[in-house]
Structure 1
Amino acid sequence: MFVVIVNMRVEPGKLDDFRGALTENAEATRREPGCLRFDVLQTTDDPCAFVLHEIYRDEHAFFHEHRSASHYPSWKAASAACVVPGTHQNTYCVPAELLAPGKQDHQGR
């Protein structure tokens, strides 16, 4: 299992465009065989702040299958046009038991 948490802040005047692109991306991603879960969260105190919680079968499903999916380039372009520069952050996680002594993390360490 490989988890991706994405935090981003959207330009206030671009919320409608962003929501449309995000909806298309979420629906397409949920249909990917390697996607186990894709949640879209909008913070309650800031309508321009979003969190994506994505769970994939493994790293390959995210880094290779998801990022090479036919819908990904349009999502990448739309998010680049709508997200406030410098506010997009990806955090990559694996279940803690996979990082136990003697096991490697996703970068082979």
Structure 2
Amino acid sequence: MSQPTFAISVAFHIKTEHVDSFRTRVLQQASESLEKEPGCYQFDVLNDESDASLFALYETYADAAAFADHKQTPHFLDFDATVAPWIESKEVRRLVLLRN
């Protein structure tokens, strides 16, 4: 496998009543992305230690084009539509991996 050149970090604040459902659904999304997308190298799901409604994702991709492809997959489109009403706030950062 080649080295990733592109990463995404996403911070979610989930409405309290949807935290458990979001946790289940985002873990499914991570698994499907890794299994079905050759350009997705890493998809970590993190949960804040002191506030269960705060989640973070860290995803790496072969390149920005692989991430663009990710956003068009059926599993992403389903995830995005399903969780949208559960989200209090969302912040996405597009990142370029630096190497020495």
With the length of structure 2 as denominator, give the TM-score of the two structures. 0.88
Q: Secondary structure at the match of 2:12?
A: strand
CA-atom RMSD, angstroms? Answer: 1.1
Letter of the 2:66 partner, please give it: A
Gaps of 5+ in 2: none
Tell me the residue number matched to 2:50. Answer: 45
Indicate the structure (1 or 2) with the bigger Cα radius of gyration: 1
Corresponding pairs, count: 94
Q: Secondary structure at the match of 1:45?
A: coil
The ranges of structure 1 where at least 4 consecutive aligned residues each deviate by more than 3 angstroms after the TM superposition are: none
Tell me the residue number matched to 1:74. Answer: 78
Gaps of 5+ in 1: 98-109
| Cα deviation 1:42-91 (Å, max 9, x = unaligned) | 0101110000000000000001x20111101111012212111xx20100
| Cα deviation 1:10-54 (Å, max 9, x = unaligned) | 111011221221122111111110001000000101110000000
Identity %: 29
Tell me the residue number matched to 1:103. Answer: none
With the length of structure 1 as denominator, give the TM-score of the two structures. 0.81
Q: Distance in 1 between matches of 2:82 and 2:24?
A: 9
